Amino acid sequence: MPSSRTLPRALLFAALLSVSSRHRAYAQAAPPASGAQAAQTPAATPSPNLAGIAHVAIRVADLDASVAFYEKLGFVRAFALSRDGKVYEAFIKINDRQFLELYPATEKDTQIGFLHLCFEGSNLQAAHDFYVAQGLTPKDVRTAGAGNLLFTMPGPATPTGPQNLEYTQYMPGSLHSKDFGQHLGGDRISEKLVGVTVASDDPAAARSFYLSKLGFVAAPGSKDMFKLPGAPWEMVQVVPDQPLRFKARILFSAEIAASQTALQKRGIAFTSTPDSVVVTDPDGNQIVLAPPMQ
């Protein structure tokens, strides 16, 4: 559980800045453009503008147990990637454009917890070119395993090394596009992911990186919360290494009273503050539920 000095302030700004249904209604209204439409989209000038948070990736000790936990919260495992008959990545659907990606621990990769954060771009090449102009070293845009465009690059220092920053663009024919309108659990504890907290070895350096290199915008009155560049009111928070360290803390938009009632009915343990409900998954990652801006 985060310290009382950290969580309430984070939730306060998240509630003030979190996306409401108005801000990302476009994201729920239509699937990615068809192949013909995508081909007709003109190349954009370099821009850091993003469409939102696409997913949070977490490595888990027991994939089946973690999937069962998130399904108890009302989310659905929409699809998965397998190799030699064994699942190595499961996609837990929050809405048509947001997912949790769960990776099982292996003999080679044993560290449980937060892996990376991925942002959606409406023109991935434009975002890539912007970062190149900023003197950063993103890898070339490529097609990833699920069929979407992707590029990655190193970010600020974290307890596990440089933060792995991912950027994706949903493409026609990808697993995500084919699943549009499906696997939307009717009893989801939340329908929107609005913020992610990342532990940093050097929060001041991370702040400078997000603001001066990535094009993020500082949240009013906060030194550690940064709004994504572009339209969506979604945020990244950077905190010192302790006490979060390897764990993920993910903020979802939800009404407190309704969340408490739903969790009680499902027999899911939680803690409450005046402005949040916190659930801990089997690996100690925190799911924070807080009201959206009215």
Segment 232-258 shows an average pLDDT of: 91
pTM of the model: 0.85
What is the rounded CA–CA span in Å between residue 45 and residue 134? Answer: 14
Share of the chain above pLDDT 70, in %: 84
Q: Let me know if residue 37 belongs to a domain.
A: no
Look at residues 204, 198, 14 and name the one whose alpha carbon lies nearest to residue 113. Answer: 198
Q: How far is CA 173 from the centre of its chain?
A: 22
Name the token pair of 171: 């493409």
Sign of CA dihedral 83, 106, 118, 291: positive
Instruction: Return the higher-pLDDT residue of 203 and 231.
Output: 203
User: What distance, in Å, lies between the first and last C-alpha atoms of the chain?
Assistant: 27
Q: Does the residue 35 lie in any domain?
A: no
How many domains does the chain contain in total? 1
Q: Is the dihedral of CA 260, 265, 266, 268 positive or negative?
A: positive
Is residue 17 included in any domain, yes or no? yes
Following CA atoms 235, 80, 282, 243 in sequence, which dihedral angle do they give, to the nearest 10 degrees?
-30
Q: From the CA atom positions of the chain, what is the Rg in Å?
A: 18
Q: Which of 4-13, 81-90, 123-132 has the lowest mean pLDDT?
A: 4-13
Confirm whether 76 is domain-assigned: yes
What residue numbers bound the domain in which 13 lies? 7-29+44-290
Helix count (H) and strand count (E) of the chain?
8, 16
Write the CATH number for 134. Answer: 3.10.180.10
In a domain? residue 117: yes
**Domain-embedded: residue 147:** yes
Single out the residue of 75, 74, 64 nearest to residue 100, CA to CA. Answer: 75
When pLDDT is averaged across residues 216-228 and rounded to a whole number, the result is: 90
Other CB atoms within 10 Å distance of the CB of residue 272:
13
Segment among 19-23, 119-123, 198-202, 249-253 with least mean pLDDT = 19-23
Q: Does 222 map to a domain? A: yes
DSSP secondary structure letter of residue 187: T
Per-residue pLDDT at 16 exceeds 70: no
* pLDDT value for 162: 85
- Does residue 2 lie within any of the structural domains? no
* Residue 236, pLDDT score: 95
